[in-house]
A and B are shown apart, each in its own frame.
Chain A
């Protein structure tokens, strides 16, 4: 599934390592990372005190998640292919950042119900 998602936006790469190990691992880890961010934002901080619960905090959280997801994809691509960085890797890291934010938006719809202070964040 993850291969399909990445190839949908970035196209196929002739190195089979992407399909066999990089896409599934990065995809799964990015999804888990998004869940962790949502849990921290909505459940841990969002139920503790009103310190990190507003829309601007949500945007900052999504940006941090995107940066980490991007770095994760780029690093995994270099490690998995044992090659120097190339434009495909850069595109892949951008696409992964985008998917991480999309996961976070979707997870927000579900997790905000469990929150106290971020019940209405971001919408």
Chain B
């Protein structure tokens, strides 16, 4: 039985985990019995750079997928095979007339104001006892004070909740009134699964997650759907800045408070609960949000994305009732500051790291090797000369490999803890860290050069010739994507297997 998976990414961490999920799905990680993955980013910080970057990657993925495979949902092999699509692509069973924006982001309404004006737009509460209650609950430093704009009641909502879940929960309460959320409620089918990603130490994620669960489960129709959740606990710090509303010294206490709340109020509501944390090694610059909040990708976010893959691939009969929530952690073979393929157990190595290795070979082939092969027959047959410059499919493919995937890998390599599975700057024979492909020379003559230009030209030619027999010239984008996949697989066959730890 096939189904759709609705993945809600709440707040900045939610967006960053979705970014990693996009990379995994682009690499061809396999999903069982899945028609569509519908990522829905919920972030009130409209200009948050982490969110913007994820949205761009998702949009590129969607275009590449659509040009490569059309609307087919039965594709189970190859790069970009999963139908990762917007809410707009779903046709709800019940009649919905409203047209939605074709976006991966769920839009809130009326947030271009301060928290107090959001609660009391017409200033009807001035002098009222409710205002006294608000003053007691929230910090309300008077106007003119240097910290005025950072205080809770005066916080601008379209810049995020800046680590204040007590504000977030009020705003999230109104989520149910948005037309997008109403559409979501009608779009989820009885067999569909729901997954929610959030951080527990910020403002948006920690307040949005329980509210979202509550709003979804208020709908009678959705009470039997399988719910999964990933809660990311502190894995980084931010630098001290007295002017900032965010202080990482409070991350642990906020985590503890939120966990206590979850234990009480989420009991019996989630089937699978995935939890991730790490010793915070990296100190990011203290950015409250907006265009400046652009945290480098982190291994933990990649592991978060593997939780979604695990949830999606679980057979229906593996889920216990919500009363007996299953809890999952993620472990590696050995504690290290630099992590690579060898640190993972076999299951992760085969389901996640093999596709990622293939995709990294493909990235190098696409960005560095293919442009050098402009005299080859396959290059001319696929009209790559003109298409690489002018065709929107190839422009997005270039952008995905160069601006999204390569940046994502490099950010994880430079972060702490470092994730360095690939030597991205070295040649194809040395790509996989810990297992170079051996070049055999005798008397100065190369007997086996591993992955050489000559081998690649031969493979590109032979495979293109073979694919041409089944994929016509009218579907050259699809043929190219398959060609890239097959040649990357040939590179992987030279490697034989991923390195392992004894």
Contacts and interface: CB of A to CB of B under 8 A. Distances in A.
Interface of A: 49-51, 53-54, 115-121
A117 B461 contact: yes
Interface in B443-459: 454, 457-458
A12 B457 CA distance: 51
A118 B377 contact: yes
A117 B461 CA distance: 6
B182 interface: no
B464 to A, nearest CB: 8
A121 B380 CA distance: 10
A50 B376 contact: yes
A49 B454 contact: yes
Contacts of B473: none
B375 interface: yes
29 contacts: A49-B454, A49-B457, A49-B458, A50-B376, A50-B377, A50-B454, A50-B457, A50-B461, A51-B454, A53-B377, A54-B375, A115-B377, A116-B377, A116-B461, A116-B462, A116-B464, A116-B465, A117-B376, A117-B377, A117-B457, A117-B461, A118-B377, A119-B377, A119-B380, A119-B381, A120-B377, A120-B380, A120-B381, A121-B377
Nearest to B457: A50
Interface residues of B, number: 12
B458 A50 contact: yes
Contacts of B376: 50, 117
A50 to B, nearest CB: 4
List the 6 shortest-distance A-B pairs measured between CB atoms, nearest first. A50-B457, A119-B377, A120-B380, A116-B465, A116-B461, A117-B461
Contacts of A118: 377
A49 B455 CA distance: 9
Interface of A is mostly: loop
B372 to A, nearest CB: 13
Interface string B361-397: 0000000000000011100110000000000000000
B387 to A, nearest CB: 15
Nearest to B376: A50
Contacts of A120: 377, 380-381
Interface in B390-411: none
Interface in B327-385: 375-377, 380-381
Contacts of A51: 454
A66 B8 CA distance: 71
A121 B62 CA distance: 37
Contacts of B375: 54
Given A50-B458, A120-B381, A121-B377, 6 more contacts: A49-B457, A50-B454, A50-B461, A53-B377, A116-B462, A117-B461
Nearest to A112: B377
Nearest to B464: A116
Interface string B265-276: 000000000000
A53 B458 CA distance: 12
A9 B377 CA distance: 37
B155 to A, nearest CB: 63
A46 to B, nearest CB: 9
B487 to A, nearest CB: 14
Nearest to A54: B375
A50 B380 CA distance: 14
Interface string B461-481: 110110000000000000000
A117 B465 CA distance: 9
Contacts of B454: 49-51
Among B376, B454, B458, B461, chain A packs the most CB atoms within 10 A around the CB of B461
Contacts of A115: 377
B180 to A, nearest CB: 50
A49 B457 CA distance: 8
Contacts of A116: 377, 461-462, 464-465
A121 B376 CA distance: 10
Among A53, A116, A120, chain B packs the most CB atoms within 10 A around the CB of A116
Contacts of A121: 377
A59 to B, nearest CB: 14
A49 B456 CA distance: 10
Contacts of A54: 375
A48 to B, nearest CB: 8
Contacts of B464: 116
A54 B374 CA distance: 12
A51 to B, nearest CB: 8
Contacts of A50: 376-377, 454, 457-458, 461
B144 to A, nearest CB: 75
B451 to A, nearest CB: 15
A119 B380 CA distance: 9
B461 to A, nearest CB: 5
Contacts of B458: 49-50
A54 B461 CA distance: 13
